[in-house]
Amino acid sequence: MLKIKNLNISIDNKKIIKGLNLEIKQGEIHALMGPNGSGKSTLSNVLAGKDGYDVTGEIIYKGEDLLKISIEERARKGLFMAFQYPIEIPGVNTSNFLKSSLNAIRKSNGKKQLDALEFLKLIKEKADVLNIDKTILNRQLNVGFSGGEKKKNEILQMSILEPMFAILDETDSGLDIDALKIISDGINSLRSICRSFLIITHYQRLLDYIKPDFVHVLADGSIIKTGCSELAEELDKVGYGNKKQL
Amino acid sequence: MEIKNNYKKVISLKENSILNYNLKANSYACLFFCDYSGVITEINVNLDVNSSCELYGIFKNTNENTDVITNVTHSGHNSKCDQDFRFINKNSISSFKGLISVPKHINNCESHMTNKNLLLDKTSQAFTKPELDIKNSDVICTHSNTTGTLDEEQIFYIQSRGLSYEESVNMLIEAFYQDIKSKMEAS
């Protein structure tokens, strides 16, 4: 699904990611953990196609050179990033935004676009499954949303767009226990043999609910250790500062 | 023109114009100026006792210069006015000049003036000059102006959900005047 080879990313001549290698196969869940400033969000931004980075190396997504594909084409090819800080867009209705997004993706994949009624039915269904308050759908996109509502809205978008490869950039940060439960249930409900996840997190907490196939530790721009879900528990005990013990 | 009761109108102009609205006592007017650009429009509103007026403008300028001048005079007690003009400039220059006058002997008036400008490129400019000529302290008067460009973070977010750059920009332009548009739809 995704193959990253010798990836280097810098911003303003400052190296953030240094020779990173990572392979995520179809159906796998990978957790990427690491301290603040280790380059986790930089990596997810580059995967989603954000401008302003100097990138060398190779990212192959479903056999294609991802770095040559535009932001919207990546989304249309099934890549989705749940933002660490979802952007507020005043004047844009949440439900309408989701409909435009879904239809843009469906259209490029040769599928029939949903009309207002079909979409309404779908979004209500998904919101119910995720136990998400439907009133957010009629509000302006992320405007005045609480931290939890913003993250739930990202997961709702994911469940509607049904991506092949989802990056969750610190989706668990700033959530209370109930919201964390709702969000991890949402992610688990989307788990499938054809869908892959890259879950970026600081804490082991989220991984109590979502069992990853692999856990990677990112420090100073490269992966210093890879293991199975027990690695996350170990990290929780010893912390990031104690790299030698890992 | 004289307005005696209720008056609502959407106004599109093809040439430079001076429009005079004289609101009689207890009357109400709601005017939308849109779907035109490249001309100079002077809007003069005179408000009699208990009258109230709403003025809204949406101007999408492409390779054009558009000027709007408003003069709102509160000639009667308890008169009210709300004005909100938005300019979206693409290789264009807009100018908004608004004057609110409240004479000394007129009490209990309320008047608000808003002007927001969205510049789509570096060649665009927006000039704005709000003026309040208030001679009576028994009033509520406000004015606000903003001028800004599109937010790259917002564009990235929309694009990351599968919409093209152009579609994202159009979505943000529509969002910029969404509140006025919904007032138009409701009226």
Tell me the Ramachandran region of residue A170: left when phi exceeds 0, alpha when psi lies from -120 to 50, beta otherwise: left
Question: Tell me, what's the pLDDT at B48?
Answer: 97
Question: Tell me, what's the pLDDT at A111?
Answer: 96
Asked if B156 lies within 8 A of A81 by C-beta distance, the reply is no
State the pLDDT confidence band at A46, using cuts at 50, 70 and 90: very high
From A49, A81, A89, residue closest to B175, measured CB to CB: A89
Q: How far apart are CA A40 and CA A166, in angstroms?
A: 15
Query: Would you say residue B39 has pLDDT above 80?
Result: yes
Q: Which letter does DSSP use for residue B8 in this model?
A: E
Map out the domains of chain B as residue ranges: 2-149, 150-187
Ranked by mean pLDDT, the top range of A19-28, A173-182, A201-210 is A19-28
* Contact (Cβ atoms closer than 8 angstroms) between residue A172 and residue A201: yes
Question: Tell me, what's the pLDDT at A176?
Answer: 86
pLDDT in tens, B55-79: 999 999 999 999 999 999 999 999 9
Q: How far apart are CA B11 and CA B172, in angstroms?
A: 24
* Contact (Cβ atoms closer than 8 angstroms) between residue A169 and residue A151: no
Chain B residues close to A104, C-beta within 8 Å: 161-164, 167
Q: 3-state DSSP: chain B helix, strand, coil percent, rounded to 5?
A: 15, 55, 30
Tokens (6 digits) for A181: 């439960």
Map out the domains of chain A as residue ranges: 2-40+51-245
Question: Tell me, what's the pLDDT at A174?
Answer: 80
Query: Nearest-CA residue of chain B relative to A75?
Result: B162
State the pLDDT confidence band at A140, using cuts at 50, 70 and 90: very high
Overall average pLDDT of the B142-157 stretch? 97
Question: Tell me, what's the pLDDT at A233?
Answer: 77
Asked if A74 lies within 8 A of B176 by C-beta distance, the reply is no
State the pLDDT confidence band at B10, using cuts at 50, 70 and 90: very high
Q: How far is CA B99 from CA A45, A72, B68, in A?
A: 47, 45, 11
* Contact (Cβ atoms closer than 8 angstroms) between residue A86 and residue A146: no
Among B residues 69-128, those touching chain A with beta carbons less than 8 Å apart: none
Cα A171 to chain center, whole Å?
8
From A86, A89, A105, residue closest to B162, measured CB to CB: A105
> What is the CATH code of the structural domain delimited by A2-40+51-245?
3.40.50.300
Chain B residues close to A157, C-beta within 8 Å: 161
Q: How far is CA A203 from CA A35, A55, A165, B135, in A?
A: 9, 28, 22, 63
pTM comes to 0.91
Overall average pLDDT of the A4-33 stretch? 95
* CA triple B22-B28-B32, angle to 5 deg: 85
pLDDT in tens, A143-156: 999 988 999 999 99
Overall average pLDDT of the B167-177 stretch? 97
State the pLDDT confidence band at A246, using cuts at 50, 70 and 90: low
pLDDT in tens, B73-131: 999 999 999 999 999 999 999 999 999 999 999 999 999 999 999 999 999 999 999 99
Q: How far is CA B104 from CA A143, A239, B80, in A?
A: 42, 71, 16
pLDDT in tens, A113-123: 999 999 999 99
**% of chain A at pLDDT higher than 90:** 72
pLDDT in tens, A189-242: 999 999 999 999 988 888 889 999 999 999 889 998 898 877 877 777 777 766
In Å, how far is A73's CA from the nearest CA of chain B? 7
Strands A29-33 and A214-219: parallel
* Contact (Cβ atoms closer than 8 angstroms) between residue B150 and residue B118: yes
Query: Would you say residue A7 has pLDDT above 60?
Result: yes
Question: Tell me, what's the pLDDT at B172?
Answer: 98
